[in-house]
Amino acid sequence: MTQSYADKDSTTLPIWDRAAALRRLDGDEALLSELMDMLLNQIEEGIAHFAEAIERGDARGVEQTAHSLKGASASLGAERFRQCAFHLEQIGRSGDLSDAANALAKLREEAHLLRQAFRS
């Protein structure tokens, strides 16, 4: 049986694995900085899309936005954020948005932590 998101303790993961992201980019610091800026902008836009989709009851919109953010964050070592996005993707796929607002609040927290980790 697969563990649900709620059963996992994502706080044991690093907020951002900078070293892993750099390895994926062959050590290119400038590219990493550019891609992280792009990701953080994509996250801001995605959070706005989530809020709108949840308000409209658009489960497919939640799923699609989450899927996009999940992939982008995974490629740059933002595993905790990726897990939150995956949880929202699952919520969207299920069609039951009753927990979507709570999941979005958690995603916002992780976005804030990721932004802080990148800026430090």
* Segment 8-27, tens digit of pLDDT: 456 688 899 999 999 999 99
* Straight-line distance from the first to the last Cα atom of the chain, in angstroms, rounded to the nearest whole number: 39
What does the pLDDT read at residue 12? Answer: 82
The CATH number for 15-119, chosen from 1.10.3720.10, 3.30.43.10, 1.10.730.10, 1.20.120.160, is: 1.20.120.160
What does the pLDDT read at residue 9? Answer: 55
What does the pLDDT read at residue 80? Answer: 95
Distance, CA of 71 to CA of 62 (rounded, Å) = 14
Q: Which residues contact 53 (CB under 8 A, 6 or more apart)?
A: 59, 61, 62, 65, 92
Distance, CA of 41 to CA of 76 (rounded, Å) = 14
What does the pLDDT read at residue 120? Answer: 87
Domain boundaries, the chain: 15-119
For 74-94, the pLDDT digits (tens) are 999 999 999 999 999 999 999
Give the pTM.
0.87
* Token duo for residue 98: 């009753």
